[in-house]
Structure 1
Amino acid sequence: MQKWYPQIQPGKAPAFLRLLEAIEKDISSGTLASGTKLPTQRDLAERLGLSVGTVIKAYAEGQRRSLLIGHVGRGTFVAEQRQNSQSRGRVVDLSLNIPGPSILPKVLAGSTWTFPNEISDYVGYLSQSGVLDHRVQFARLLRETGFDTSPDNLVITNGALQGISLTLSAICQPKDKVFVEATTYHGMKSYAHFARLDLVGLPMDEEGLVPDAFEKAAASGAARVLFTMPTVQSSTAAIMGPARRQEIVRIARKHDILIIEDDAYGFLDQASVPLASLAPERTFYVNTLSKCLAPGLRLGMLIVPEQYIPRIHQAMRATCWMASPISSMIASEWIENGTAAKVRQSLIQEAKKRVKLASQILRPYVRAGHPTSFHVWLDLPSGSVEQVSARALQRGVITTPTSALLVDPTLISGLRISIGVPDRLEDLEWALRQLAGALEVSHEADMSII
């Protein structure tokens, strides 16, 4: 498909207005269809011999006039004028993977919980691993969600991402390669870029990471670390079956690959056995309270193979010394008094309802994933993903930028839809129906090209 560039007419009007007039003319004539992604500001400026500032002003004025729509990290697109009235200013965010933000406040509203009196015990500098009593409670939470572990190798972290960064800083050097699924946790991508690590995306299927592809990559010696999410994968919601987990562990042992297992959504499938249970000697197990309790606690758990504990403690001391013992105290109280379990059960029930609703409205685009999840994956042709996102945004629905998740776009193409943030099911249903309309328009456009 030939790239579009406008034909600017000479005149006395400022250059940015003449550029905008050319864009508007091509929109009116149908040369620029709704959802078309425009060239980047720098690309267009260089092509037309204009300053970048001129193009920025033209694009900004186009957005003000509702001709264009821009999204950070995604680009500038032609707006869908005929659909402006459909959202009527209503906006629903389906980009943030935050399960049920209103559930914890509802549970606390019905409790008699008060701030513990022993807060004075936790205002100083304490152990890098966290207070032992708190680690006991965190280990209890993991046992309740299907992972029988000890507090001895448990380090309380400032969320899952710190657990991941501590592990990578302990076992990797800059320019090392790390195996990951073809689409992965955006925090992993961000940290890898910051730490100058190269991610190698591997093929996925309905169960997640494909063993044959992992075996081939591991045999090449390209990397000695695998980051994986075997339970409710953060993009596709795929879940590894028991045989697949055994095979991944076998390959890792055969080729001496260390595993970082992100089990943030493990509480949604408590029957699955973590890789850390199958290969504790080589698996760094990462979990978080952000998904099963509250992201505002900023707490996670890292289960460390015994030989790496000193290195992890050193990394913790060098970065932040410890996770907040006051937050840990609050979380421990909620685990002990049953608040965490009530929130978890409410989240599980809510997830089931939301996946069912999304599957009904977005069929046949939804990839089969876990029936209890706060996100679904839409399989889409690579050429239509950005257009669907732009059309959804014009209808008032914000989706996750594909670039935030994809590691190897040649292996998978699609869009993750997060269904946990809207408090009311009516709002979620409205957003999903708007998204379905955007998908239908995109499908019709694709068929017209055929």
Structure 2
Amino acid sequence: MTNWLPDLEHGKGPLYLRLAERIESDISEGILAPGTKLPPQRNLAFDIGVTIGTVGRAYNLIRERGLVSGEVGRGTYVTDHKETSLVPPPQTEPFGGTRGPVATPGKIRMDSTAAIEVGQSGTMERLLAQISKQYPTEIASYSRTLPASWQQAGSKWLSAAGWTPDPSCIVPTLGAHSAILAVIAAITVPGDRIAFEDLTYCSAARSVNLMGRRSVIMQTQNGSLTPDDFERHCAQQHPKLVFLMPSLHNPTATTMPEEHRRAIVEIARRYNVWIIEDEIYGSLTRHDHVKIANLAPERTFHIGGLSKSVAAGVRGGWVACPPHLAARVLTAHKMVSGGMPFIMAELGAQIVNCGEADTIRAKVQTEVRAREAIARSAFAGMDFISQPLSPFLWMKLPDPWLSGTFKNAALNEGVLIDDEDEFKPGRTEKVFHGVRLGLTVPRTREELQQGFTILRRLMETDNASYDSYS
């Protein structure tokens, strides 16, 4: 173990970042040679007069940079980075969850919740032709402006439950996922903790890890975060940001009670936590629940888009930001996405502003309602959660089925579904024995019914009789 003590008097930024930079500098200069054991976090914190959390964040940051390695109980050691710098670090967890990068062809797809096809192509064809004639120069170049109509469309689409965001606070994005990444990039730095529910939209959590942030997993009850558990994590883990889906939670199809929303807002204020309110499904269900952004506009990023209720291929999304952060999120979105294509932003804005998005949404809602009724009939007597306008349902599997085993059995029978691991933001001992069944991608109700029949038959079959040798 070294007697090394860093000098943090010089430098800019937070103490943990200055400490990380000092460690990296001393490694590059040979002061900390490969194999050197860094001081224990508690000892170093005492010696230099900072909190153990500051040292922990710095050590995590340099570990993410590949400069050190170690395990709990062994300590933290400087790696031989000159020898390993040309070798990519091994992936310790699935890069993209439990889905394959390309859907298996010839299967009944219940692993997606994209908007149902209800004849959107005719509207898209007309609007795209109109945009090409109106803006021939803009569609041939980069987007360097932010037309007021784009922001007005976002304000209109996100408005709900008596809340209408100020258009000046709206940032158009390449879908809701791109909006999430832009917010994370804008208000957090590597090493920051971001809190997720124990089941959630995990593409966001995986993206967080790729960006050098750390996931904090919060426990839920009945599919929803409880204020008590949120406060416990705020006090112990100090997350910078919490990601929530309060209206039609993915994948549990639950809705957060209003009293929980209000309590979570007050806790976030006490601990100075930012909030992402992902309302991508809210635009489809149109529940009259108070929006967190309406309760805490100074710290909430309210995100929505067209993918679940109009057309996923348009990649239309918007984020309503706290007033002083819209410009920062706009810049961050350009950095993480490469910029907003004019033709996509204009298409998303026009389809909302001319009212066609509402027309398509009404058709999608009608079809979703019919398909959800088919699901209720097909799985009568079984344990599942759904809502009349939910494009998916959360199925509790009967004994002795396990989630991953059932997913493989369904695939073998020609049906693609999502197991619970697809929605876990990290390793956890909690087991839900659940799967999510999407209702919107099968082209016909008959194909959907066929898939339900296969799945019900599997659930009623003892999985010991399932032959998985193939």
Does structure 1 residue 254 correspond to structure 2 residue 274? no
* Distance (Å, rounded) in 1 between the aligned partners of 2:108 and 2:268: 42
> Match for residue 435 of structure 1?
455
Does structure 1 residue 411 correspond to structure 2 residue 411? no
Superposed, 1:31-430 pairs within 5 Å as: 91-105=107-121, 114-116=129-131, 117-120=133-136, 122-123=138-139, 124-127=141-144, 130-143=146-159, 147-206=163-222, 208-270=224-286, 271-320=288-337, 322-380=339-397, 384-407=402-425, 409-413=428-432, 414-430=434-450
- Report Cα offsets for 1:235-285 as digits up to 9, x if no partner: 111111222211221211122111011110111232122211111100011
> Match for residue 69 of structure 1?
none
**Secondary structure at the counterpart of residue 378 of structure 1:** strand
* Distance (Å, rounded) in 1 between the aligned partners of 2:235 and 2:386: 29
1:184 positional shift: 1.0
**Secondary structure at the counterpart of residue 280 of structure 1:** coil
CA contact (8 A) 1:276 1:284 kept: yes
Paired letter, 2:354: N
Distance change in 2, residues 1:403/1:382 (3 Å): farther
Paired letter, 1:277: N
* Distance (Å, rounded) in 1 between the aligned partners of 2:127 and 2:181: 37
CA contact (8 A) 1:233 1:239 kept: yes
Distance change in 2, residues 1:107/1:306 (3 Å): closer
Paired letter, 1:92: I
**Secondary structure at the counterpart of residue 200 of structure 1:** strand
- Report Cα offsets for 1:105-149 as digits up to 9, x if no partner: 36669x898523312353344446x32122112212223686411
Distance change in 2, residues 1:73/1:220 (3 Å): closer
Paired letter, 2:438: S
The alignment covers a number of residue pairs equal to: 360
Paired letter, 1:410: E
CA contact (8 A) 1:207 1:241 kept: no
1:174 positional shift: 1.9
* Distance (Å, rounded) in 2 between the aligned partners of 1:119 and 1:366: 53
* Distance (Å, rounded) in 1 between the aligned partners of 2:142 and 2:112: 33
Distance change in 2, residues 1:375/1:313 (3 Å): same
RMSD (Å) for aligned C-alpha atoms: 2.8
1:223 positional shift: 1.2
1:364 positional shift: 4.2
* Distance (Å, rounded) in 1 between the aligned partners of 2:161 and 2:345: 18
Q: Which runs of 5+ in 2 are unaligned?
A: 1-95, 100-104
CA contact (8 A) 1:107 1:342 kept: no
User: Given the two structures, how large is their TM-score scaled by the length of structure 1?
Assistant: 0.73
* Distance (Å, rounded) in 2 between the aligned partners of 1:395 and 1:147: 46
